[in-house]
């Protein structure tokens, strides 16, 4: 497919919005870099809410439900011990607003499992000072110049469940000394294919944060409300961004491939995989469009 090598305007605009949110709330915000933007959920979605979940939930019921959803029995013993160490001493719990996106499932899983791709795009466009690099299989480090330094790893990955463990340090103007924290993210996903062939992906992200005693009271009583609202906003904006990457690949895979070639903070193997995936998404979209045209005749 033809197209310019410049960043598509919609991707650039959404990246700018994400950057505004990404300047604040480093620990919870940075760990909560995942997904998506508002669309009506299909009744077939296993995560379809019985009531509106357009806002975050910090209730005890949500927390207990989130705990039950973690597949502890499927974790490596060492990883399970790290996750339990956070869950047994939670300073802050937050269930992000439920979001549904129009996105190719393969592109979705790729971007979820390679968050460094998204962060490097922001870095490339100079709209965010976040810096993320892959350090191993499913392992990443993320830093923000005047805030947080975090190491994170996927301790469980499946089609519908991702569990991420992270630990790091935050220093900011409200704190007399750096504060260390650990966190667990649980992303639950549901997939629905509509009659038009498009996939709608439902996302629910649960965040557990454990902060050392010196910073826990300040975080929970003073900073937490601001952190939570900012993290919610970042979650929504990043979701829109990821959905846009997928749809851009559908109509202009050349533009996405040109962007990929400039991601010098991403491993060459990952760049190559994304370039191939963008072309596959484009081809699938073309086939679907031709089939749809035949049905309309």
| In the chain, domain spans | 9-291
Rounded Cα gap, residues 39 and 36, in angstroms = 9
CB 164, CB 30: distance < 8 Å? no
User: Which two three-digit tokens encode residue 129?
Assistant: 């000072």
* Distance spanning both ends of the chain, measured CA to CA: 25
Rounded Cα gap, residues 11 and 89, in angstroms = 39
CB 278, CB 256: distance < 8 Å? yes
User: Which two three-digit tokens encode residue 47?
Assistant: 């995560």
Residue 97 is given by DSSP the state P
What kind and span of H or E run contains 87?
helix 77-87
Rounded Cα gap, residues 210 and 27, in angstroms = 10
Q: What is the pTM of this model?
A: 0.79
- pLDDT by 10s per residue, the chain, length 297: 444 446 666 666 556 544 434 433 333 333 333 322 222 333 333 343 333 356 888 899 999 999 999 999 999 999 999 999 999 998 888 898 888 889 999 999 999 999 999 889 888 878 777 889 999 999 999 887 767 788 999 999 999 999 999 998 877 665 667 778 889 999 999 999 988 788 998 888 898 988 876 555 555 554 455 566 667 777 767 777 778 889 899 988 898 899 899 999 999 999 999 999 999 999 988 777 665 555 555
User: Which two three-digit tokens encode residue 22?
Assistant: 């990404």
User: Which two three-digit tokens encode residue 203?
Assistant: 């996302």
Homologous superfamily of domain range 9-291: START domain (3.30.530.20)
CB 185, CB 205: distance < 8 Å? yes
């Amino acid at each position: 497919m033809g197209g310019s090598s410049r960043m598509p305007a919609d991707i650039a605009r959404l990246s700018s919005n994400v950057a505004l949110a990404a300047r604040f709330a480093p620990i919870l915000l940075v760990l909560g870099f995942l997904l998506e933007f508002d669309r009506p959920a299909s009744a077939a979605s296993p995560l379809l809410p019985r009531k509106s979940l357009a806002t975050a939930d910090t209730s005890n019921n949500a927390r207990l439900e989130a705990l039950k959803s973690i597949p502890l029995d499927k974790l490596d013993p060492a990883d399970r011990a790290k996750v339990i160490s956070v869950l047994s001493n939670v300073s802050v719990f937050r269930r992000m607003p439920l979001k549904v996106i129009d996105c190719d499932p393969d592109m979705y899983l790729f971007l979820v499992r390679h968050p460094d791709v998204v962060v490097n795009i922001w870095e490339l466009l100079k709209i965010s000072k976040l810096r993320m690099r892959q350090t191993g299989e499913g392992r990443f480090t993320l830093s923000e110049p005047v805030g947080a330094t975090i190491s994170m790893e996927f301790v469980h990955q499946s089609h519908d469940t991702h569990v991420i463990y992270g630990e790091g340090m935050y220093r900011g103007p409200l704190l007399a000394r750096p504060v260390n924290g650990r966190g667990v993210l649980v992303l639950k996903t549901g997939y629905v294919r509509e009659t038009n062939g498009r996939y709608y992906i439902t996302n629910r992200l649960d965040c557990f944060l454990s902060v050392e005693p010196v910073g826990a009271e300040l975080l929970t009583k003073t900073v937490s409300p601001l952190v939570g609202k900012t993290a919610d906003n970042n979650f929504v904006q990043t979701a829109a961004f990821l959905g846009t990457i997928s749809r851009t690949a559908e109509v202009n895979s050349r533009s996405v491939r040109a962007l990929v070639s400039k991601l010098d903070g991403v491993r060459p193997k990952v760049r190559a995989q994304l370039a191939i995936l963008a072309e596959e998404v484009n081809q699938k979209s073309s086939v679907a469009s031709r089939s749809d045209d035949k049905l309309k005749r």
